[in-house]
Structure 1
Amino acid sequence: MQRWLRLAERYFEPIIIVTSLGVVIVLLFADVVARFAFQTSVPWAGEVARFAFVYMIYFGISYAIREKRHLRVTILVDAVPSALRRWIMAFAEAVFLAYSVAVCVLGVQITANAIERGQSLSATQWPTGWLYAAIIFSGALSALRLSHSLWMILRHGQEPLRENTALEDEGIQREGAGS
C-alpha cells in the first residue's frame, strides 16, 4: 500500500500535466487541420483544450512547489547569515502556505457558486464546476507541499531548495575535476 502511495505522490502531477499537454496539442492540431483541409471546425476542441490547459497550469503550480522549482527572489535571503536565512525562508513558506489555503477556500466558493447556478460550458455542456475544481485541487496540493516544506525547515533546518541540486552540483564538480 505504501508503495502505491509513494508512486502516486511522485507521478500524480506529472501524469496530469503530460496528459493535459497531449490533449491540448492533439485537439488544437486536429482543429487546425479541420479548418484548413476541410473548411470546418471541431466545435468542442477549443473548449476541451482550454479545460486541459487550465488543469495543466494549476497542477504545474503544485508540481513546481514539490520540485522546489517555483520562482523565488532570493536577494535578501542570500545577503543574510545562514542562521537567519532559515527563519526568513520559513516565513516565506508560511506566507505562500497562507496564500495557497486562501486560493483553495476561494476555489471552493467559486466552484460552489458555479454548481449552484447550474453553469455549463457552451460546446461540451460540461459543468463549469469541473473547470473551477482545478483551483481547489491545486490549492490543496500546494498547501500540502508547502506544509511539508515548512515542516522540513522548522524541524530539520533544511532550506527549501531543490533536493537534487547539491548532488547535481557535486556531480558536475566531480566531472570537471576529472578532466
Structure 2
Amino acid sequence: MRALEKWFEPTVIVAMLGAIIVLVFADVIARFAFSTSIAVANELARLSFVWMIYFGVSYAIRERRHMRVTVILDMLPQGLRRWVFALSEAVFLIYSVAVCWLGIVITQQSLDRGKILSSTEWPTAVLYAAIVFSGGLSAARLVHSLWRVLARGDLRLGPQTDV
C-alpha cells in the first residue's frame, strides 16, 4: 500500500507523458512520410495531456509543491502559523471537494447527453473523469496534509520524507 501511495501519481504522469511523446512522434512521421494524419493519435495525446495535468495537481499537493503565497504565514508567530496553515489547507480541501463534485456532475451530464469524442468515439466522460479522480485524490492528499499539520505540527513546505 505504501508503494502505491508513493508511486501512483508519478507512474500515471510518466505513462501519460510517454504516451504523448509516442503519439505525437507517430503523427509527425505520418504527416511527413505519408502525407496523412493519425486522428486517433491527436485525440489520445490530448486525453493523455489532460490526465497528466490533473494528476500533477494531486502530486504537487502530496509533495507540498503547489503554488501558494506564504508572505503572511512567514510573518506570523509559530503558534499562530500552524492554525493559519491548517485553515489554508482546509479551504483548499473544500475547493478540492467542490471540484470533485462538479466533475461528477459534468461527467454525468456528458454521459446523459451521449457526447462522444470524434476520433475514438469514446464518451467525453473519459476526458471529464480526470477532474473527478484529481479532485478526489487531491482531497485525500489534503486530508493527510491537515492531519500532518494538526497532529504533528508539520509546517514544511517541501516534499514529505515520511509516507
Equivalent residue number for residue 77 of structure 1:
73
State the shift of 1:164 in Å: 5.2
For 1:145-164, list aligned pairs within 5 A: 145-163=141-159
**What is the deviation of 1:6?**
1.0
**Conserved 8 A contact 2:62-2:159:** no
In the alignment of these two chains, the number of paired residues is: 161
Among candidates 33, 37, 45, match of residue 37 of structure 1: 33
Contact 1:149–1:160 (Cα < 8 Å) also in 2: no
Larger-gyration structure (1/2): 1
2:63 pairs, out of 44, 64, 67, with 67
1:26-175 aligned at under 5 Å gives the runs: 26-163=22-159
Report sequence identity in percent. 60
C-alpha root-mean-square deviation of aligned residues, in Å?
1.2
Q: Is the 8 A contact 1:54 1:131 kept in 2?
A: yes
SS of equivalent to 1:40: coil
- Give 1:162 shift: 2.2
Structure showing greater relative contact order (alpha-carbon pairs closer than 8 Å, 6 or more residues apart): 2
TM-score by length of 2: 0.95
| TM-score, normalised with respect to structure 1 | 0.87
Structure 2: runs of 5 or more not aligned: none
Counterpart CA distance in 2 for 1:31 and 1:68 is 36
Unaligned runs of 5+ in 1: 166-179
CA distance in 2, matches of 1:10, 1:88: 27
- The 8 Å contact of residues 64 and 160 in structure 2, kept in 1 or not, is answered as no
The CA deviation at 1:155 is 1.6
Which 4+ residue blocks in structure 1 deviate beyond 4 angstroms?
none
Q: Does the CA contact (< 8 Å) of 1:153 and 1:160 recur in 2?
A: no
